[in-house]
Amino acid sequence: MSKAPESKFQSFLAARTTAVEPSAVDGNGTTGSKLNARGRSYGKRSDPSYEQVTAYIRKRTHDAVKMALLKEGQRRQFSELVEELLSSWMQGMNI
């Protein structure tokens, strides 16, 4: 029997399919500064040590926090601030 013809896109898909190399993940489960196939660093979304959550806060609070983060000049992300505040709160609760 003859083999089914290969799709004209098969070689393209094979070239685009890349797996995260074990060396790209450090001991904490984070990806560090390794780059993906598009030349971008791996983000929190693909990092198993992070989880996306949703919280409702007042729009004026969110806007004020974004402005304060920009004025701070450290280029800290909103999620980093939330992580810091929640961790600090947990330490105060002795949990």
Q: What is d(CA 68, CA 29) in angstroms, rounded to the nearest whole number?
A: 30
Residue 9 phi/psi, 5° resolution? -100, -5
Q: Rounded to two decimals, what is the model's pTM?
A: 0.55
**Domain limits at 87?**
53-95
- Tell whether 68 and 93 lie within a shared domain: yes
Q: Is the dihedral of CA 42, 47, 49, 54 positive or negative?
A: positive
- Say whether both 75 and 38 belong to one domain: no
Is the same domain home to 27 and 62?
Answer: no
Are 74 and 92 in a shared domain? Answer: yes
- Count how many domains the chain has: 2
Residue 1 lies in a domain: no
> Residue 95 and residue 87: Cα distance in Å, rounded?
10
| 88 shares a domain with 57 | yes
- Spell out the per-residue pLDDT of the chain, length 95, in tens: 556 666 766 766 666 554 444 444 444 444 455 666 777 677 888 889 999 999 999 999 999 999 999 999 888 899 999 999 999 999 999 87
